[in-house]
Every structure is written in structure tokens, then in C-alpha cells.
Amino acid sequence: MANISDVAKYFLQKDLQEDDVNSITNLKLQKLVYYAQGFHLAIYNVELFEDDLEAWMHGPVAPALYREFKSYGKEPIVREDDRSIYAIFSEEENTLLDDVFSEFGQFTAWKLRNMTHEESPWLDNFGKGDNISKAELMKYFTTQLN
């Protein structure tokens, strides 16, 4: 199983390949890993990474990942080109991550933030202990599958 840092690096690499510019902020990265975890749980009935997500003021957040990139503030996360990250994931995981990036990577951080504020995993947990269970993610994202 990959860890959350690997998932983040995957999205950062995809972003770099898209336009040769680093444009993902910490806020946007948090939402991408949230969607990846949710859809992975819904489709495969198993978590993509072990880290828990919490319902923070600006949407779902993985605290360890937040701390890893906190120094960037609101600025894009700068990463070097490293395509070796793709080898860490299975073919199914690569496909899912590509699909999540294609669907949600097109939106701004604030658009993603606002989207998550309309979804039950955040709505049901913000200010109420704040931890978003994997069972809640699976239940919600199962309803979002086409």
C-alpha cells in the first residue's frame, strides 16, 4: 500500500507534466487526496492510504500531509520532475489517480474547497470531533459512482 506522501507526489508530478509549471497548493492537494481516497474506497472497498482525514475549516485535510507542505502557505508546491513515482502504484491505482486528477485537478483550490463543503463527509464531521471515518467516505463516494 502506498502512503499519503506517495499519493501527493503522484498528483504533483501529474500537475508538473500537464503544463510544466507547479500549480498545486497545499489546499488543492488536500482535496485531491480526499477524492482519491474516497473513490478508491468506493470502487475497491479498501483504502488507498492509511492516514485519516479530518474535517477542518477549509474542508477535508490529512494532518500529516498538511504539515509536510505547510511551509508553502498559499503558494504552489514546487517539485522536481520525478516520473518514478508512477511505479509505486498498481495499474488500477494509476488509473484511479489519473481519473481523479483529470476530473478534479482542473478546479481551483477554492472551488474544490467549496465542493467538499457540500458533501456529507465534511458536513457531518466539521465541529463534531472532526475525524472523517473511512466508512463514511466509502458510503458517500459509493453514491457518487456513475
- Let me know: does 119 contact 113? Beta carbons within 8 Å: no
Overall pTM surpassing 0.75 (yes/no): yes
Question: What are the pLDDT digits (tens) for 107-116?
Answer: 999 999 999 9
Question: What are the pLDDT digits (tens) for 56-103?
Answer: 999 999 999 999 999 999 999 998 889 999 999 999 999 999 999 999
For 114, residues 6+ apart whose C-beta sits below 8 A from its C-beta are none
Torsions phi, psi for 129 (to 5 deg): 100, -25
Question: What are the pLDDT digits (tens) for 19-35?
Answer: 766 789 999 999 999 99
The ranges assigned to domains in the chain are 4-144
